[in-house]
Amino acid sequence: MKKLLILLILVFVGIQFVPMNVPADLPVKEGDALEAPENVQAILKRSCFDCHSSHTTFPWYSSIAPVSWFTKEHVKEGREKMNFSTWNSYDDEKKLKYLEKIPKAIQDKMPMKSYLIMHKEAKLSDADKEALKAWTTEAAFDLE
In a domain, 13, yes or no: no
pLDDT digits over 80-113, tens only?
Answer: 999 999 998 999 999 999 999 999 999 888 998 9
Q: Which residues span the domain enclosing 64?
A: 37-143
What is the rounded (10 degree) CA torsion for 6, 9, 14, 19?
170
Global confidence as pTM: 0.79
90 domain residue, yes or no = yes
Residue 32 lies in a domain: no
Q: At what angle do helices 126-143 and 38-47 cross, to 10 degrees?
A: 120
Q: Is residue 5 part of a domain?
A: no
Q: What is the pLDDT along the chain (144 residues), one digit of tens a residue?
A: 887 778 777 777 766 776 666 665 666 666 677 888 999 999 999 999 989 998 888 777 777 777 777 788 888 899 999 999 999 899 999 999 999 999 999 988 899 898 898 889 999 999 999 999 999 999 988 877
Give the torsion sign (CA, 45, 51, 54, 59): positive
Task: Give the torsion through C-alpha atoms of 79, 85, 87, 88, to 10 deg.
Answer: -150
Whether residue 29 is contained in a domain is answered as no
Domain count for the chain, please give it. 1
What residues contact 112, with CB distance under 8 A and at least 6 apart?
74
Yes or no: say if 55 and 24 are a contact pair by the CB < 8 Å rule: yes
- Whether the CB-CB separation of 34 and 44 falls below 8 Å is answered with yes
Q: Is residue 41 part of a domain?
A: yes
